[in-house]
Structures are given as C-alpha cells and as structure tokens.
Chains A and B, each alone.
Chain A
Amino acid sequence: MANTKKFSDRKKDERAAAYIFTTPAMILLVAFLVVPMIYTVYYSVFKYQVMRPDDIAFVGMDNYAKLFKDMDFWQSLKNTFYFTVIVVPVQCVLALALALLVSKRFRGVSIFRTMYFSPQLTSMVVISVLWTVLYNSNPNTGLINSILVGLGMQPINFLTNAKTAMNAIIFMSAWQGAGYQMMIFLAGLQGIPTEQYEASAVDGATKWQQFWNITLPNLKGTIKYVVMITMIQAMKLFTQPYVMTQGGPRNATKTMVYYIYTQGFQKGNFGYACSVAAVFFVIVVAMSLILQRITNAE
C-alpha cells in the first residue's frame, strides 16, 4: 500500500516536472502558432482591407466561396503539389545517395560532408539571387546558358519560360536542401550495426543486396522522418519564386504561400488571404496525416 502511494506520488512529481519543462515551449507555441492560427480562421470570415482596420465587415463564407472560383488559387495549389511531388523524392534520393557516399571512412571525407552541407548554411535569398544569375537567359550573362551555347546548343530561358521555370526552381531547391537531409541520413546510417553487414558479407551478399535488405530496412524510421519534413517544407515554398520569378511566368511558379503573401501584404486583402491560409493549413495537415498513415501501414 505504502509502496504504491509512493509510486503514484513520484509519478505526480514527474508529471509536474514535465509540465514545468515544457511550459516555455508551450507558451511560445501558443503565442506564435496557436493564437495566430485562431486569428487566421477568425479573420477569414471578414472583409478586411489591411489599410482600413476600422472598417471590418462580417461576410460569412463569402471569402471561401470566392476562393473556390479563383483560378489563381487553384493554379497555386497545383503548382505547390507539383513542386512537392517532384522535389520530395528527388531531394530524398539525392540526400540518401550523398549520405551513402560520405558514410565511408576515408581521408578527407569531412571536406565532402561540409561541401554538401554548405548550401544549407547560406541564406535562401542569397542562393536564389545567385541561381537567378546562373539561369539568366542571355548567354553573355547566364553561366549555364553560356556553357550550353559553348557546346553548340540553343540557350534556354530557364526562368522566363512557363514550361521550365518550376523545374529550374525544383533543381536548385533539391540541390540546396539535400545537404540537410544527408546529415540526418548519415546519422541513421551510422546507427546501423556493422555486424549485419559483416554477417551478410560472409554469406556472400552483394553490395546491392546489402543496401536493399540491410540499409533500407534499418533506415525506415529516418526515411519516414525525412520524407515528412521535406514534404512540409516543400509545401511552404516561397523564397525561390519570390526572389527568382515573382510567381511567373504565366503563374507557373506561383505557390500557395506566395499567393497568400501577394493577397495579404501586397494587395492588402487580409480577410481573403486568411481564408486561403486556413484552407491551405487544412490541406497540409491532411497530407501529413495521409503520409503518416501510409508509412505506418507499411
């Protein structure tokens, strides 16, 4: 009797400690995430021009009705999905490949690790500006086009052609982002017991068989995590189109977040921007849940 009481007391203490330790994070979370989210939903049912906060009018579901008829909204949603669907596998495979390359222990491996990781240390804005110049359509200024022309090919309007602009952004985003995922994969790879490889080598397994039957299954948790964060990050794509293409050409790179920004800040349609943000939030949460379901089911 006395023992169980003590036990439950200790449990209570632990619980109290847990609350105390999580309080700072919780306060921040509530202040900067939960409250703004509630406000977003609240303002999404108002006509609210940001420059006239005294003239807010309740409009019910008008903003949502308008949104479903808004071609720019659907286009932005489509672009965001396209970006996500392409960039997530590309970036994850690239990251895994890089991680496998640098997981070996050899002289100078850290230099490679640092090199692959270094784009992560540079601001996305800086990288976007750099790539805008690299992609420039004029072979006299754009490095990539000057190489193409040097090889006897036609220059490509990477960022000013609706067909290539998003792919150009996908390529540079995957290049920029892969380093971070590589680091996580690297940690995962180092956690795989070497005995498994040794044992399989004794049994005569090829490198390829080892990869499929030892590396991948052991990385399952890491892969889940990496895919999830890459997807959420991809859905939030903003900086690259903002700096490089301003959503163009022909809306080809206009993403959800960029659309929310132009509506809310550039044009001052705050209420409408909030309704877009609210719908977008639901979509991201739904996608995360679906992805979790899929990966858990496996």
Chain B
Amino acid sequence: MSEKLIDSGNNAAAMAVQLAAAEVIAAYPITPQTPLTEKLSEVIAAGKMDAEYVAVESEHSALAVCIGAASAGVRAFTATSSNGLLYMSEQLHWAAGSRLPLVMCVVNRGIGAPWSVWNDHQDAMSQRDTGWIQIFAKDHQEIVDMTLKAFRLAELVHIPVMVNYDGYYLSHTYMPFELPEAKAVQEFLPPYDYTHTLDPEKPESLNTVTLPDSRNDIKGIKRPGYMDIRHNLHQEMRQAMELWEEIDADYAQRFGRGGTPILDPYRCEDADFVVVAMGSIANQFHVVVDRLREEEGLKVGVLALQIYRPFPTAKIAAALQNAKGVMVYEKGLSYGNQGALYADLKSALYPYANRPHLHNFIVGLGGRDIPTEDLFQTLKTACLSGDQNAPEQADTPQWIGLQL
C-alpha cells in the first residue's frame, strides 16, 4: 500500500532515495539541503537502509565518491545546494563525460558572494552546461516522483540527472504527498545492472588524454575522439526527452500520477497570455491566473517547465506559438544579458512565423519575497501593454521587488 504523509520536502526526497535503494550516498551538508542528508545518514545508521554513507570533507569529494561508486556498478546518490554545487562543478563535467547514471538533488539556493542561504535558481543555472539533465519539481509529490523517475532515466541513458527543488519554499515546508509502496518501486526501478564496470580482471584506462581524432586502439577497435564523445552526449541528451516521456507514462500506469513530464500547463487551453516558470513559483501563479481571469477577464495560463536540460525546444514552441504574449518569470539570469530561460525560449520561438511578444521578469533572488500581488500586477500590466514597447526595451528584464 502506498502511504499518505505530511512532511517536509527534504524528508520527501530522503524517502524517495530510500525507496530507490541507492547503495552509496556521499554528501556534505549545506543549507538548505542538510536535513535531506541528515535523514539519509539517520536511516542508514539505524539499519533501515542498506547503503554505505560516506562522510566526506567537501562537495567535490562527495561527487568524486559517487563517480567511483557508479563506475564500479553501484547506484549512488548525492545532494547539495548553492556554493556546494559550484564546488562540485569540475566533477559535474566529469560525471557527465564519463556517462555515469548518478542522481543528485539540488535544493536551490542563491550563490555567494554575498552569502545568502535563501532560495533562487542561480546555482542550477550556473551549472546548466555541464552535461547533466536538469529537472525542476514544483511540490513535494513531484520531488518524490521525479527522484524515482530520475534514477530510471539516468540508468537508461547513462547521463546524470539533477533533481532541483526550491530551498525553504519546498525543502522546509510541510505538504501532503503520497509515498509509493516499496515493492512497486522495486518493479519500476529494478536493481542497477551496469554492464560496463571497473573490473580488475580486465584493466582499462578511463578518460585518459583523448585525442582530437578517433583512432584504432591496440586491439584494432575504433575508439571515438573527444569531439565524437561530446557530440554523442549532446545527441543522446536530446533523445533522453523521449525516454523521459516513456518513463513517465510507465510511472503513471503503476502509480496513477504523471502525464506532464515536460510541460505542465494550468488553464492554458484557451490562453492568450502564458506565464512560463520553473519550480514552486509556477504553482504560486495558479491563484494569479485564476484572479486575472475572474477579475480582469484576461485569458491567462501558466506553463511550468519541468525539464530544463535537455531543453524541450519544439514542444515549448508548439505550446506557445499561438499565444499573444508570453511572460517568463525566473529566479536567475545571465549577467550582462537576460534571464537564461527567457533567452532559451526566445531562441526556440524564432523559427515560427507567429511569435508571441515576450516579457522577462527577474524575481526572488536570494530569497527576496515574492508577493502574489506583485505577480498579479506585473502580469496584468504585461498582458495589457501588448507589444507596444520598443524591441530593446521589451527585451530588457524587469526586476520585481527592487528596494533600492
């Protein structure tokens, strides 16, 4: 029997990792991820989870331990936040380039300097191009479901997966969610069977200097060059999207939840204006959309982006091309340019003849409060302004809630 619980987002993630039967967990505590790893070390120490908890001195080592474990054919998990993720950065590239099926929860937090422990998405966005799949949960149920599906995806495509959820908004708040039954999870996610493991009987050099050109090795087997390996990572990450949908469909059949693994629309069917956002803020927009429809008669919807890398270019363009306006609200930006999600979205829409006018909003950096009223007012103004702004002005991100 599945269980209905009310608990924190971090505990929901810990329960999912326990259900996924990860065998090695190596993590370094950092706010707001700490309760997740504390919970995992607690259940392992209590003998409730058959796994090795490796206490490490840094996040770089945490991921290095997971890379070693996965290379030896073991299901491994880590979690971090903010500067901890940045400290892992070199190993993030290493894990993806080695095509290891790791799963990591990133409990999103602003990055220093200056220090902040509060939520935004700058940590995940800064590691966008490391070759990891990046998914974003909106609530505790999605944390559980996405974490379980992430293990299956990682092990099928051999690309590591980052499950992102908002620090505090999700990590520390309590919400109801359903926890699937262990036996059913085992059927969905069978034990990790890695065919290519480190084996002392068959010594190999992994990831040594790889020449620009492909070549025949000493046995006469054609080995890829660096560029071939990178092209393959890109192609197969694009292909992973299809598999993510298949995994979601299977999950939905077994557990009764799913159907929107890539884009999760709310009142978008007839919408003239669509908000695009990632994480918990997409859920906050439900009430804004309801109010704008009731009070202002504006046909507004919100489209939550569930997977950011690979970017669902064609799907998101198809979903938005008939809208009059699209408003991107994001908790991070590419300094000196625009919001990264906004730029990606604009690029996805470029080939289409009918393009909506676009607005970019930067919101909630370093935990700056996001009053629902501010979302209501800015969205209403954007809907009513149409595309009257000069292109360069429309393209300049508007910061919500600045105080100085």
Q: Do A and B bind each other?
A: no
Residues on B facing A (Cβ under 8 Å): none
